[in-house]
Every structure is written in structure tokens, then in C-alpha cells.
């Protein structure tokens, strides 16, 4: 049976972790980004459908492509971050089901209905985006998740001109690196158990 993680690990992943808005100049090697994905991919999804797709923005050219679609408050920090990832989901994810769910390859037919397919992609892709941030924190990275961006513009710029990605759609964007703690805002309150939960 698994045991509880040490307090230091829980602090790093949850209690002391913060959303960063400014970044140090410390480089993040590609191997660390790949390692983060390789950790994240083990998080559970419905029928192991794994609809999330990740576009990692590192080069100055790619940052300049993304910047016009970021809200004014998010543009500068996106340009400064060593890495930024577009966390998307693939509406054509059922095509991968026979590979990902080999004991029941016919499960791809569970998602024939367009609304069900879109809801499944969004729900599970969002889960995978959260797993990715927890994996990044576990690897010693800081995260700066953002929802302030022009989704249709990002989709058109990065996905719709390529047949392999034309069914991808952006969910949220997250910068990665080593955050500048001097630029952190005070931590905002969280709801108490009694305010957010019920036991029936």
C-alpha cells in the first residue's frame, strides 16, 4: 500500500507552490520538460483516452507568434518565460483509442456523438493539464497558468493550417521556469472544507 508523501513534497507541490508572473534567467533544459511530460502521462483519463496535446514555446520566433494572442497583462511575462506551453486537446482523440485502450479497441465508438466527444476531450484534457502542472512542480519547476488569451487566434495560428493538428483546440496556457519570488502577490484565501464540501 502507498504511504503519504513527506510534508516537504506536499509543500513543494501544493502548500508552498505559487502561480508565478515573473521569471529568473535560469535556463530550463529540454530534458526536464520531456521528463515532466513523461511523468504527467501516467495520470488517469476516461478509457485512457489521453486527449491533451502540448505545444512547447521556447524559441523567440515562437514566442513572437504567440504574444499577439495573449491578453495585455499576460504578454510580457509570456515573452520573458523560458518555456510556455499551449495545453490543448484533440477532438479527434478517439482515433488513438485502439492504441491506448487495447483490451477494448471498439471503445472509440463510445465517442461518436460530437457533444460527448467534445465534453470528454475538454474534461480529460483539463485533467491532464492539471497533472502536467503538478508534474512540473514535482520536477522543481514553477508554473504560471493563464486563461487570458485569444483561443480562436491561437488555434488558427498554431493548429488549423496543419492536417495533423487541425482538430486540436487550446484550453489554457502555462509558462514554465524558475519564478522570481520577489514578484509574487500575497497568497489569496482558499475556501475552508465547511464552505466547499459536503459529507452525505
Asked if residue 195 has pLDDT above 90, the reply is yes
Rounded-to-integer distance, Cα 5 and Cα 162, Å: 43
* Residue tagged 524559441 (cell numbers): 59
What is the model's pLDDT at position 146? 98
69, 153 in Cβ contact below 8 A?
yes
Q: H or E segment at 123?
A: helix 114-138
Q: What is the percent of the chain with per-residue pLDDT over 90, rounded to a whole number? A: 98
Q: What is the tens place of the pLDDT at every residue in 36-90?
A: 999 999 999 999 999 999 999 999 999 999 999 999 999 999 999 999 999 999 9
Question: In 3-state terms, the chain is what percent helix, strand and coil (to 5)?
Answer: 50, 15, 35
What is the model's pLDDT at position 2? 84
φ, ψ dihedrals at 176, nearest 5°: -135, 145
Q: What is the tens place of the pLDDT at every residue in 126-176?
A: 999 999 999 999 999 999 999 999 999 999 999 999 999 999 999 999 999
pTM beyond 0.85: the answer is yes
Asked if residue 1 has pLDDT above 80, the reply is no
What average pLDDT does range 107-136 have in this prediction? 97
Q: What is the Rg, in whole angstroms, of the alpha carbon atoms belonging to the chain? A: 18
What is the model's pLDDT at position 153? 98
Rounded-to-integer distance, Cα 58 and Cα 74, Å: 16
What is the model's pLDDT at position 188? 95
What is the model's pLDDT at position 106? 94
Of 3.10.129.10, 2.30.130.10, 3.40.50.300, 3.40.109.10, the CATH number of 7-179 is 3.40.109.10
70, 146 in Cβ contact below 8 A?
yes
Asked if residue 186 has pLDDT above 80, the reply is yes
Q: Write the DSSP symbol of residue 46.
A: G
What's the residue count for the chain?
Answer: 200
- Per-chain mean pLDDT for the chain: 97
Rounded-to-integer distance, Cα 18 and Cα 187, Å: 8
Amino acid at each position: 500500500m502507498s504511504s503519504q508523501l513527506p510534508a516537504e513534497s506536499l509543500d513543494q507541490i501544493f502548500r508552498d507552490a505559487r502561480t508565478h508572473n515573473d521569471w529568473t534567467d535560469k535556463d530550463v533544459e529540454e530534458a526536464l520538460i520531456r521528463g515532466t511530460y513523461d511523468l504527467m502521462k501516467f495520470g488517469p483519463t476516461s478509457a485512457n483516452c489521453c486527449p491533451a496535446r502540448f505545444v512547447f514555446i521556447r524559441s523567440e520566433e515562437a514566442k513572437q507568434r504567440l504574444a499577439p494572442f495573449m491578453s495585455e497583462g499576460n504578454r510580457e511575462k509570456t515573452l520573458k518565460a523560458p518555456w510556455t506551453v499551449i495545453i490543448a486537446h484533440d477532438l479527434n482523440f478517439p482515433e488513438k483509442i485502439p492504441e491506448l485502450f487495447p483490451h477494448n479497441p471498439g471503445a472509440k465508438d463510445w465517442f461518436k456523438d460530437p457533444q460527448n466527444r467534445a465534453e470528454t476531450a475538454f474534461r480529460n484534457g483539463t485533467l491532464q493539464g492539471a497533472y502536467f502542472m503538478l508534474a512540473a512542480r514535482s520536477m522543481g519547476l514553477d508554473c504560471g497558468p493563464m486563461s487570458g488569451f485569444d483561443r480562436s487566434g491561437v488555434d488558427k495560428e498554431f493548429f488549423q493550417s496543419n492536417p495533423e493538428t487541425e482538430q486540436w483546440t487550446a484550453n489554457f496556457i502555462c509558462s514554465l521556469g524558475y519564478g522570481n519570488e520577489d514578484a509574487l502577490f500575497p497568497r489569496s484565501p482558499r475556501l475552508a472544507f465547511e464552505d466547499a464540501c459536503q459529507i452525505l
